[in-house]
Amino acid sequence: MPILDAFPDNLEDDVIVFRVIRYSWFEEETDELKDIAFIRRPNDTAGLSVNNTQSNASESLHNPNAVVSLLVESVRALDLDIIPTNTTHANITGLPSDAEINASRESKRIAQRLAGQLRKSATLVWRKPRV
Amino acid sequence: MIPAYTTDSNITYTLPGQYVVGSFPCAQTETLPLISRIEDGRKIDRNIGKSTADVALENLANVRERVLQLKDEAPKDDFIYAPTKKALERFERLVTFGYALSSGEVVRPLISPDGQGGLVLEWRKLPKEVKLIIPAKFENKPYLYYENGDIYDVIENIKSDVLAQKLTWLAR
């Protein structure tokens, strides 16, 4: 399965993408990823950010705690998509926005279900060393 | 649930069943909530703390401690870690009562800030999961998500007795 040096306009199903994980999205004691890592916030206007490489993902935050990988095919299996915005960044699209979640019960239901599904599909590939 | 007695700093609820919960401070203070339990017709007061013999209250003390640790976190990378006063008040009411009213051993929850001053608690006992979403803003009400394999749903405007039912369901 390929890790791409640069995203093309369209991603094949077998591509791996990477998402940076804030320290509060990751349970240090048990190595468990939290669903909140896959819920859109108000500034996630176009979707959830992913990158083409682990290093590009970890550099997207000042203080990253971990990086997870996702297979494009497993994201599309949830009726979502991954759309590149440039050669190193893409958005997971199709998740309810923050405004939609606040406005409707069905969006809450879908957003929470999909967050759990994405979390289960994600593989931890890097974590900050414990001090 | 309607409070039976209210002052500026304390709220006393009389709940159906074996618990009465009172002397209930806001999480902004370091004071522990006081849980009063009716046992053999006698009212027994217990501060929530690690020394309690009641497993649910001991677990609650741990959860509360972890939530209160977030209070002093500074925002980083455009992400708010500290819960707002509103979120803490909601947490105190929902989760304190939820634990006090639940039966069975409640698993340790994952606790996360939502980045906007709210809180999310996740209890997992696969294939069952319960999530409590506590928004920071008054206009966005707390809700609960539960899942058991392919069955999943949301309960809006969640109250602590419903949280207690779901935590009991999870513990089974």
Chain B CB within 8 Å of residue A102 CB: yes
In order of A14, B15, B59, B72, B125, the CA distances from B118 in angstroms are 36, 26, 21, 14, 24
Q: What one-letter code names the amino acid at A5?
A: D
Determine which of A47-56, A101-110, B62-71, B138-147 has the lowest per-residue pLDDT on average: B62-71
Q: What is the pLDDT along chain B (172 residues), one digit of tens a residue?
A: 444 444 444 555 555 555 555 555 555 555 566 666 655 556 666 655 544 456 677 778 788 888 888 988 888 878 899 999 999 989 988 888 788 778 778 889 999 999 999 999 999 999 999 999 999 998 999 999 999 999 999 999 898 889 989 999 998 8
The pLDDT score that the predictor gives to residue A4 is 83
- Which residues of B fall within a CB distance of 8 Å from A109? 145, 152-154
CA dihedral B111, B112, B118, B121 (to 10 degrees): -40
Query: Over 50: is that where the pLDDT of A129 sits?
Result: yes
ipTM of the complex: 0.92
Average pLDDT over residues A116-122: 97
Chain A residues close to B114, C-beta within 8 Å: 36, 39, 41
The pairing of strands B143-148 and A89-93 is unpaired
Our measurement of the distance from residue A24's CA atom to the centroid of its chain's CA atoms, rounded to an integer in Å, reads 15
Quick one: pLDDT at residue B37? Answer: 60
User: How far apart are alpha carbons B83 and B136 in whole angstroms?
Assistant: 7
Q: What angle do CA B111, B117, B119 make, to 5 degrees?
A: 25
Give CA–CA dist B154/B157, Å, rounded.
10
Provide the pLDDT for residue B92. Answer: 84
What's residue B49's pLDDT?
52
Whole-number pLDDT of residue A61:
86
Å from A23 to nearest chain B CA?
Answer: 10
Q: Is A31 on the interface with B (CB under 8 A)?
A: no
Residues of B in contact with A113 (CB under 8 A): 145, 147, 152
Check if A65 contacts B (Cβ < 8 Å): no
